[in-house]
Amino acid sequence: TQLLEQSPQFLSIQEGENLTVYCNSSSVFSSLQWYRQEPGEGPVLLVTVVTGGEVKKLKRLTFQFGDARKDSSLHITAAQPGDTGLYLCAGDVYNFNKFYFGSGTKLNVKP
């Protein structure tokens, strides 16, 4: 069982569609990060959220941290083929000195 559960695991959509990826846990996190990884490369940090209820926007990407700091979502508006990749949420559990990654959501945006 993963400490961070991501859904969906796979997502295949057409260019221009909107999508939301979820990251859920029963644990409280001090902070939570979202990464994007392309095949054969290292994950690249997209955003860090630290405050419950926080919303951050990065162009067409909107990230939200749950009020209780147990969950997060990533919303992409008008997806483009360049958004294709593996999206990973990750975080450090509050008062517990370990960092966890979710299992990832593999996104494919078709032109």
Partner 1 sequence: DSGVTQTPKHLITATGQRVTLRCSPRSGDLSVYWYQQSLDQGLQFLIQYYNGEERAKGNILERFSAQQFPDLHSELNLSSLELGDSALYFCASSSPPKDTQYFGPGTRLTVL
Binding residues for partner 1, per CB under 8 A? Answer: 2, 31, 33, 35, 40-45, 48, 50, 88, 90, 92, 97-104
Q: Are the beta carbons of 23 and 89 closer than 8 angstroms?
A: yes
Please state the closest distance from residue 70 (CB atom) to partner 1, in A. 19
Please state the closest distance from residue 26 (CB atom) to partner 1, in A. 18
CB atoms within 10 A of CB 57: 12
Could you give the CA distance from residue 32 to residue 51 in angstroms, rounded to a whole number? 9
CB closer to partner 1 out of 14 and 30: 30
Please state the closest distance from residue 103 (CB atom) to partner 1, in A. 4
Q: Are the beta carbons of 87 and 36 closer than 8 angstroms?
A: yes
